[in-house]
Amino acid sequence: MWRQQLRHYGKALDAPEDAVGVVLLLVVFTVMLAAVLFRYLLNDSLTWAEELVRYGFVGLVYCGIATGFRRRAHIRIDMVDLMLPRLAPTFRVVNWLISLTFLTFLLVQAVEITKVLRTSRSAALELPMAWLYWLVAAGIAMGILRLLWIGLRAVRSGR
């Protein structure tokens, strides 16, 4: 019963992670393509395109944290698992704790920076800079939720 519930909650986390990633990737691709077409076909440049693409990439990276945890795609050292298989579960717990602590620290810093930059505006788009850091904070929060789900699943399954 609880395995089905965990699987259900895991799937519920998958959809927003994937949706945000796809939307940001489409925005980056579309704006970059439009900028290239305007520059080389119409001999006119979109002054705001570079800034929007940069912010889109930043959002994509931070929102990709959760997807990386889900797919176990983040860089890790497998040497410990191979050389000391009996200590591998302990190292996994330590790795999980370090990741959770670091992401929590990053979330606090992103929120603090958002407070400081609430009146600043971007150069080309004149958007509030706080929006960029709220996007960063949201991506980090998604990573924390994914880590908590992974930890709960590991505890429930006894791994």
85-99 burial, b for 16+ CB within 10 Å, e for fewer? eeeeeeebeeebeeb
Nearest residue to 3 via CA among 153, 145, 151: 153
Residue ranges of domains in the chain:
2-157
Q: How far apart are CA 137 and CA 132, in angstroms?
A: 9
Question: Binning pLDDT at 50, 70 and 90, where does residue 5 land?
Answer: low
Does 25 score more than 90 pLDDT?
yes
Report the Cα 41 to chain-centroid distance in Å: 35
Q: How confident is the model over 37-67, as pLDDT tens digits?
A: 999 999 998 989 999 999 999 999 999 999 9
Q: Of the segments 5-9, 20-24, 90-94, which one has the largest average pLDDT value?
A: 20-24
Q: How far apart are CA 76 and CA 118, in angstroms?
A: 36
pTM comes to 0.85
| 78 three-state secondary structure | coil
How crowded is residue 132: how many other Cβ atoms within 10 Å of its Cβ?
A: 22
Q: How far apart are CA 135 and CA 143, in angstroms?
A: 13
